Amino acid sequence: MTQIEVVQGDITQLKVDAIVNAANSSLLGGGGVDGAIHRAAGRELLEECRKLGGCETGEAKITKGYNLPAKWVIHTVGPVWEGGNYGEDELLASCYRQSLALAEEYKISAIAFPAISTGVYRFPLERASKIAVSEVNKFLESDRLLKQVIFVCFGQTAYDSYLKAMQEIT
């Protein structure tokens, strides 16, 4: 049975197999959670990212975690919210699916997600948290390796939104 948890805190502090980064398509760092992950992981993360040649929106790539407590970082690029008619829901769902598929491939048993796209990219939080919870649930119907999925919320508003999504969906 996989445990799904919602916690409040800083994802860079988590000692799990993999943390997910809400990156941009350059994969060369930025603000928000991306900036925090690069600062905590150190220069070597940027060096590895440079070799990846970027990442399309809705896709995911994996690197090592370097100075982070987490062994791996799964970088995914969420959609910029443009009002909802530009495939944003499906692209965000794809971020979760592709990140989880990489986790399975690397035999990761514990993974932590931030609220992808809900900061600088302005995706509405309630809508994003429902997509996050439902994609994870769907994936877990067939995956047998993942033991723990953690939604890491940076603040009370995100935390409340994820708890609500968990109640509605699970």
Instruction: Decide whether 87 or 145 has the Cβ nearer to ligand AR6.
Output: 87
Cβ at position 105, least distance to ligand AR6 in Å: 23
Cβ at position 160, least distance to ligand AR6 in Å: 12
Out of 10, 34, 89, 160, which one is annotated catalytic?
A: 34
126 by DSSP, 3-state: which? helix
Cβ at position 108, least distance to ligand AR6 in Å: 18
Question: Which tokens hold the place of 71?
Answer: 């062994």
Q: How many angstroms separate the CA atoms of 114 and 73, rounded?
A: 12
Cβ at position 118, least distance to ligand AR6 in Å: 4
Instruction: Decide whether 69 or 145 has the Cβ nearer to ligand AR6.
Output: 69
Binding residues for ligand AR6, rule: CB under 6 A, are 10-12, 22-24, 30-34, 36, 78, 114-121, 152, 154, 158
DSSP state of 16: S
Instruction: Decide whether 47 or 145 has the Cβ nearer to ligand AR6.
Output: 47
Question: Which tokens hold the place of 49?
Answer: 């990212």
Instruction: Decide whether 1 or 14 has the Cβ nearer to ligand AR6.
Output: 14
Question: Which tokens hold the place of 78?
Answer: 């969420």
Question: Which tokens hold the place of 128?
Answer: 């994003």
Cα dihedral 9, 2, 118, 170, rounded to 10, equals -120
- Is 34 among the residues known to form the active site? yes
Q: Measure CA 102 to chain center.
A: 12
Which positions are catalytic? 34
